[in-house]
A = this chain, B = another copy of it.
Amino acid sequence: MSKPTETERCIESLIAVFQKYSGKDGNSCQLSKTEFLTFMNTELAAFTKNQKDPGVLDRMMKKLDLNSDGQLDFQEFLNLIGGLAVACHDSFLKSTQKRF
């Protein structure tokens, strides 16, 4: 086996992180609300601790839970990561446009 590329490592990480948090209670292929909150407050604490509105995580969970089953499956979880990545990417583009 050759060394994995950065993209392969990233795909592996996304699966590993999802399994780590979704395996904590109930259905191990889904993130429950509690597991989602644990994930957000552990992995994305830099984001959550800056939110002044206490309802923001509730609203995020509702918005991400496309089939409204009260759980996030892997695809719904990826939409969260994608949304955050797009927001980071946009803010990076804005900061470089300001600079030049």
Contacts and interface: CB of A to CB of B under 8 A. Distances in A.
Q: Lowest 4 CB-CB distances: which A-B pairs, in order?
A: A7-B43, A78-B82, A5-B43, A10-B13
Nearest to A11: B85
B9 A81 contact: no
Interface string A18-29: 100000000001
Contacts of A6: 13, 16-17, 43
Contacts of A93: 29
Q: Is the interface of A mostly helix, strand, loop or mixed?
A: helix
A11 B73 CA distance: 19
Contacts of A15: 85, 88-89, 92
Given A29-B93, A93-B29, A85 B14 contact: yes
